A and B are shown apart, each in its own frame.
Chain A
Amino acid sequence: MNELPQQLANGLALGALYGLIAIGYTMVYGIVQLINFAHGEIFMIGGFGALTTYTALPSGTTLLVAIPLMILGGAIASVAVATAAERFAYRPLRNAPRLAPLITAIGLSIALQQLVWQFYPDAKKAVSFPEFKGDAFQITESLQIQRADAFVLVLAPLCMLALGFFVSKSRSGRAMQATAQDPDTAKLMGINTDRIIVMAFAIGAAFAAVAAVAYGLDKGQINFEMGFILGLKAFTAAVLGGIGNIYGAMVGGVVLGIAESLSIAYIEDIPGMQQLGGGAWSNVWAFVLLILVLLVRPQGLLGERVADRA
């Protein structure tokens, strides 16, 4: 059986998930040059928001009805937390040295994890999440797509299209580009830059909530620690694609996801590399790839497009 199409599909689904989370890192960085290290936890909060919504629904609700509501509930939770974080943790530090908001972000990330751990019932271990039932879609003999993977593979491009349209066509989107380019001048032109920054946080959070629902549907469980590693990977994807560039986030995510899948499947088949393959080494290869790309193209694969302030 030829494993390659299947491994590519796995990588693509994983990458689309990274990409959705990476949008949040890249937009916030593009506009305020801040690496919002609490974004992984915003993703996690989106998952718990969606789960809470699901538990509140009458039992017997089909997933078809429940999923849009879960996305909505998750997005409300994550957007609320993200905008509150922006208002109370980052805005007061906007003119402080850049290291200060970074440390705040790390502190916030731990605080949010512990809050969920402490107050969400049963969150001390993995909590079960509604899961797609039914068999995978059998595309060819050697390729099947899990239902949850199909969900993220359809949703991620749709989200990207909507975002691309919003940023390039709408008034607020153009204001966003202007703020990214030069906040002071944008302000002089009558743009409410504070509102634009909140918007960047909110959009990133909403995308993270979509990703969290996709993740939960796939794994059948969520966990208060899940934002850490996924956040780190998504951040890596954002840097890989060119931090500040929204399409770069998606491209970076997909490249990273496929690199991980292929490294798990094939590196150990290369003669002499047997010890360096398999699941244990996938993170190493992902970061080796990141370093290689940054050595050759420090601006990332697609380059920094919106932020241009050096």
Chain B
Amino acid sequence: MRHRSLLILTSVLTTGALTLTACGSRDENKGGGDSAGGGTTVVIGVDAPLTGSLSALGQGIKNSVDLAVQTANKQKLVPGVTFKIEALDDQAVPASGQANATKLVGNKDVVGVVGPLNSGVSQQMQGVFAAANLAQVSPANTNPSLSQGDNWGKGEFKRPFKTYFRTAATDVVQGKFAAQYLFKDAGKKKVYVVDDKQTYGAGLAAIFTDEFKRLGGQVVGTDHVTVKETDFSSTADKVKSSGADSVYFGGQYPEGGLLSDQIKKTGAKVPVMGGDGIYDPAFISASGEANEGDLATSIGYPVEKLDTAKKFIEDYKAAGYKDPYAAYGGYSYDAGWAIIQAVKAVVDANGGKVPTDARAKVTEALGKVSFDGVTGKVSFDEYGDTTNKQLTVYKVEGGKWIDVKSDTFNQ
């Protein structure tokens, strides 16, 4: 009896843990195009977390790509071709992303994919796309190894997958920019570094740490948190007793917001800084505690301030999407638009028809696209990285993110 109940307990724990990944995925795919034009239908895949705690960002990505597709259809940009999106939910789980990639590859109408949000998810998808010659443009992946290979840190740049592109600047740029701002502009010398052990968070924290030390700053302590945990009070007390004058957090806003709150609650009034993963209204609004003075870097210039983005914002409003375009909307629109431009180039070169080897040709054409997008000039370098290295530091003031410094990064 005793053994049997122990056995049951163990199996329960395992099964319970499995339910975490087994939650059904839901597809809110409304389909993209108005049935404009007729002719051939070309599908642009979208993969992002459409449910779960990062869904605010994921929905913004999906809607923005949808907007790009609708705009192209309305303008009849590629005569005889109607664009459509197929949006899949990865719930920020790498295994789901891989399954979605396989599904998108299986749909022969898909000529390019926008997504995913998370670098860790992308790692599992890249190989699937590369094997099928299907181009992927991420609006949000910032981990350098995705485009520059595992040894980028040692200065050996090698592009692992020729089908991988991104409109987001990498963490090398972002982490260094953050360190320089915190040390030089904000005058902080003693930082406590916390990360969430994920590809994105840990990578960003490591880059930040190196640059901060190189500048002459001191790292007075480090800790790691677990994703989906909510109690960080012990870590918060360690921060307080370490005497740090600032905290750098590599991770996403659900944990970042709580960590910042719990640090403030201990009475340690130090700012928490993070990357684009925490640059979201939910970082501030999820809790009643004031986050005044917290900092975040994000890629690009503030979309609201760019002339090129005015039309995007108006169109987005007019389209009546339920969720806001969030942090990556502009980049997602540009990613979708880059694929559309590539398709246009391929179709134009093929006498107005979609060629049979469209995927390979689109991948090739993507490397050469160049246009003025929502976020500025859009084009890709030899690694598939964006050539746009603009960054902005945001600060929480009066319960809102306010941009405090925008600059083009140079080493």
Q: Which residues of A contact B (CB under 8 A)?
A: 1, 3, 6-7, 10-11, 13-14, 35, 37, 98-99, 102, 106, 109-110, 113-114, 117, 124-131, 133, 135-136, 144, 146, 219-221, 223, 225-226, 228-229, 232, 235, 239, 260-261, 264-265, 278-280, 282-283, 294, 298-299, 310
Q: Indicate if the CB atoms of B224 and A280 lie closer than 8 Å.
A: yes
Which residue of the partner chain, among B53, B234, B237, B261, contacts A225 with CB atoms under 8 Å? B53
24 contacts between A and B (CB under 8 A): A3-B237, A10-B233, A10-B237, A99-B8, A124-B55, A131-B287, A135-B267, A144-B266, A219-B261, A223-B53, A225-B52, A225-B53, A228-B19, A228-B228, A232-B17, A235-B12, A278-B223, A279-B225, A279-B226, A279-B229, A280-B223, A280-B226, A283-B226, A298-B2
> How far does the Cβ of B36 sit from chain A's closest Cβ, in whole Å?
31
With A98-B8, A113-B23 as contacts: A7 and B232 at CB distance below 8 Å: no
Q: Are B16 and A232 in contact, with the CB atoms below 8 A?
A: yes
Of B1, B23, B225, the contact of A114 (CB 8 Å cutoff): B23
Contacts of B2 in A (CB 8 A): 298-299, 310
With a 10 A CB-CB cut-off, give which of B226, B234, B241 has the most chain A CB atoms.
Answer: B234
A126:B267 contact, CB within 8 angstroms: no
Question: Contacts A126-B286, A219-B258, A278-B224: A110 and B19 contacting too (C-beta < 8 A)?
Answer: yes
Residue of B nearest to A287 (CB): B13
Residues from chain A with Cβ under 8 Å of B261 in the complex: 219-220
Chain A's closest residue to B9 (CB) is A239
Closest to A3 in B: B241
A226 to B224 CA separation, bound complex (whole angstroms): 20
For the complex, give the distance between the alpha carbons of A129 and B51 in Å: 21
* Chain B residues, CB < 8 A from A37: 12, 16
Partner of B237, one of A35, A129, A265: A265
Chain A neighbourhood of B16, CB < 8 A? 37, 106, 228, 232, 235
Q: Is the CB of A310 within 8 A of B1?
A: yes
Q: Check B230 for interface membership: any CB of A closer than 8 A.
A: yes
Complexed CA–CA distance, A128 and B19 (Å): 26
> CA separation between A135 and B267, bound complex, in Å?
8
CB proximity of A9 to chain B, nearest CB, Å? 9
Interchain CB contact under 8 A, B225 and A126: no
B265 at the interface (CB under 8 A from A): yes
**Separation of A3 and B266 alpha carbons in the complex (Å):** 12
Q: Which residues of B in the span 55-90 have a Cβ within 8 Å of any Cβ on A?
A: 55-56
CB neighbours of A135 from chain B (8 A): 267
Q: Which of A14, A129, A220, A278 contacts B235 (CB 8 A)?
A: A278
Residues in A whose Cβ lies below 8 Å from that of B52: 124, 225
Which chain B residues lie closer than 8 Å to A264 at the CB level? 223, 234-235, 238
- The reply to whether the CB of B254 lies closer than 8 angstroms to some CB of chain A is yes
Question: A109 near B267 (CB under 8 angstroms)?
Answer: no
Contact with A along B215-231 (1 / 0, CB 8 A): 00000001111101111
Residues of chain A lying within 8 A (CB to CB) of residue B241: 1, 3
Distance in angstroms from B281 CB to nearest chain A CB is 10
Contact of A10 with B234 at beta-carbon distance under 8 Å, contacts A136-B267, A280-B197 already known: yes
Task: State whether the Cβ of B186 lies closer than 8 Å to any Cβ in chain A.
Answer: no
| Chain B window 6-47, contacts with chain A (Cβ cutoff 8 Å), 1 for yes, 0 for no | 101100110111011011100000000000000000000000
Bound Cα distance A265, B197 (Å):
18
What distance in Å separates the Cβ of B215 from its nearest Cβ neighbour in chain A? 25
| B292 part of interface (Cβ distance < 8 Å) | no
